[in-house]
Structure 1
């Protein structure tokens, strides 16, 4: 049984990762989505799954938008999003659901799917942990994009700790259907110089496009565990991976001494 009506963590994320004022946030996200939509090929189908970055919007927002803009053809069809991201602050064995019935952003509440929650809770690698979600930005930063890109959204946020690709991918498979989108939240390399970071990130992209999760670890992607699970799922279901955006923090700041890499991958 979930007892909280909603989590109110959004104000802690707002201001650090995206604007905290609703109109400013709505305008910012819409501008990013519109800019990305201009690059979308006519007639392109919506992806079945995505792996997108979770940094502050000035750094990775345009890259994330490149993925979210592709959801336009399925705006009314996709009703649920399973959102998996690394647990940055709480060590976890397996994966964790929140103790909440909704997540809150400045754009309003996003209900947590009761149906998916109960199905996920039955998985042997899944626990319930309010602590794992209390400060976790890797999940929450995606919600404003989802609120603007989709209609009537329900979500299932899952914090991911130590888990094998089959356990994580198997959970995704259990929750996935034609009306449910999978989103893995991950940034790429962290705090290498620009040249080293771009080399590592190119290698990571090659591995993702080859669906080769064995080449990925936390040095290359903070969300390597759920990303490897998604690649396991993609291989089982014959999906292809495409890169729709790639950059790093130096592209926004000009500081090339210690950068963070970002990419957006879509699976169809």
Structure 2
């Protein structure tokens, strides 16, 4: 309802570690079972010209974090263009610089832009090589993720990354998340947690737990 965005910039986790810190793939349009999603080539080229982003299809061949969002977006609207970017290994300063270029591009190209971050939260269990909690892991994963979420809601990239470091955290999209934080700080957006749950709460499995959250910003 009232969906009128021209361009959707999706910043996804780079699980493979391949490519540059900002790897984009706009040369071709994207295809899902719901049809073709056209890329915003002009917007993407602006980012390439004015930031560290590069056109590199290789990491996208081994990545799912962006494509899993597309069917949901296509359900809402078929009238948008996509700028898909995988993000890894950046500082807060680099996140801030890139966020500024996204905002600059939206103004220069007269686009109404929706920035979407694709990330899970904590991955806990032997399968992930991460066992922080021996007792009551489902509840404790929630508590840990709520610390991360509190930092996001406070728009505090430093606290967020410090928590990741202190807990050796397994939030796969931590770098896209700090770009999001720096982006929303530019227009003094409000931030709200819509929903959190982890897979243990849903499935009852304590051995493999992954956290999920829906967070939205608005002015």
Q: Could you tell me whether the CA contact under 8 Å between 1:189 and 1:220 is conserved in 2?
A: yes
Q: What is the 5 A alignment of 1:182-193?
A: 182-191=115-124, 192=131, 193=137
For the Cα contact (< 8 Å) 1:160–1:225, is it kept in 2?
A: yes
Within the candidate set 201, 211, 219, 2:155 is matched to: 211
Residue of structure 2 in register with 1:73 after alignment: 2
Pairing of 1:21-36 with structure 2 (within 5 A):
none
**How much has 1:107 moved relative to structure 2?**
0.6
Deviation at 1:89, TM superposition (A): 1.0
Taking structure 2 as the reference length, what is the TM-score of the superposition? 0.82
Q: CA separation in 1, counterparts of 2:105 and 2:122? A: 29
Give the 3-state SS of the residue equivalent to 1:250 in structure 2: helix
CA distance in 1: counterparts of 2:173 and 2:64, whole angstroms: 12
2:119 corresponds to 1:180: no
> Is residue 2:176 matched to residue 1:232?
no
Deviations 1:56-87 (A, max 9, x none): xxxxxxxxxxxxxxxx222xx11210111111
Q: How many residues align?
A: 195
Q: Taking structure 1 as the reference length, what is the TM-score of the superposition?
A: 0.68
Q: Which residue, out of 145, 151, 157, partners 1:201?
A: 145
Give the corresponding residue for 1:171: 101
**1:93 to partner: Cα distance:** 3.6
What CA RMSD, in Å, does the superposition of the two structures yield over aligned residues? 1.8
* Structure 2 residues not aligned, in runs of 5+: 125-130, 132-136
Q: Relative to structure 1, is the Cα distance of residues 143 and 231 closer, same or farther in structure 2, using a 3 angstrom cutoff?
A: same
Asked if the contact 1:92/1:162 (under 8 Å) is kept, the reply is no
Q: Any conservation in 1 of the 2:51–2:101 contact (CA below 8 Å)?
A: no
Over 3 Å counting, the alpha-carbon distance change for 1:170 and 1:163 in structure 2 is farther
